[in-house]
Amino acid sequence: MEAKKSPKAELENKKAYFTHIGLIISLIMMLIIFGWKTYDLKEIVIPTPPRTIDDDIINLPVIPKKLPPPAAPITTILNAVDNKKENLQDITVDVGISPDTPIPPFVAPAPPPDEKPVIEDIVIVPDVAPSFPGGMQNMYKYLAENLKYPSVAKEANITGKVHISFVVEKDGSITDVRILRGIGGGCDEEAARVISAMPRWTPGWNKGVPVRSLFNMPVKFVLN
């Protein structure tokens, strides 16, 4: 005998009912999700009261200063001297003259003469420049005849120019010879020696009078 199912246990007829219920529940959940309101939380800043100068002041207890004790008064003890004593002796100083000798009046000594030479200023660009006797050609000839190439410079193959400055005095003499830029090897000393031994120049003139003039000169050393 075949068993038959009860119509109440048949779920196939209720399939559409459960489908509608599921759709309704899904719709309600969608409405709840999209209808929920959100609120933006903003940072709350609590303002702090402005700082005043009084906040940095710390009240410290005032400590009274101890004053040093007063200095003891200085007392001067005076010894009374009896001027009536007869044992006091007079002091006699013999200066070799009698009281009747007249004293000559004091005469102050004369100050020593100023023996320091007065050095006048050097004129760098005078109205008329100083010159070697006979002109520049004679000066080059003088240097060529009197300069001697130092042996140390020859062995070391040293060549170049020695720049020298000197002062032409008012009488044409050469003073204050200085090496501005040298090349070494004894060339600097040889150039200074020859320039110091130069004959008197014709001095420079400024405003119609001879003056001390500064002169710069290069001395060239060349190996043949």
pLDDT in tens, 53-94: 444 444 444 455 566 777 666 655 655 555 555 554 544 445
CATH code for residues 133-221: 3.30.1150
pLDDT given at position 20: 76
pLDDT given at position 56: 45
Residue 26: exposed, middle, or buried by beta-carbon count in 10 A (0-12, 13-18, 19+)?
Answer: exposed
Confidence of residue 33 (pLDDT cuts 50, 70, 90): confident
Q: Which of 88-92, 168-172, 201-205 has the lowest mean pLDDT?
A: 88-92
Q: How much is the average pLDDT of 129-154?
A: 91
Q: d(Cα 132, Cα 86) in Å, to the nearest integer?
A: 94
**Strands 122-123 and 209-221: what pairing?**
parallel
Q: How much is the average pLDDT of 161-165?
A: 94
pLDDT given at position 124: 87
Q: What pLDDT digit, counting tens, does each position of 7-24 carry?
A: 555 556 666 767 778 888
The crossing angle, in degrees rounded to 10, of helices 187-196 and 136-146 is 130
Rg of the chain (C-alpha set): 60
pLDDT given at position 108: 66
**Strands 209-221 and 204-206: what pairing?**
antiparallel
The mean pLDDT value of the chain amounts to: 75
Q: What pLDDT digit, counting tens, does each position of 102-125 carry?
A: 666 766 677 666 655 555 788 888
pLDDT given at position 26: 79
Q: d(Cα 191, Cα 220) in Å, to the nearest integer?
A: 9
Confidence of residue 162 (pLDDT cuts 50, 70, 90): very high
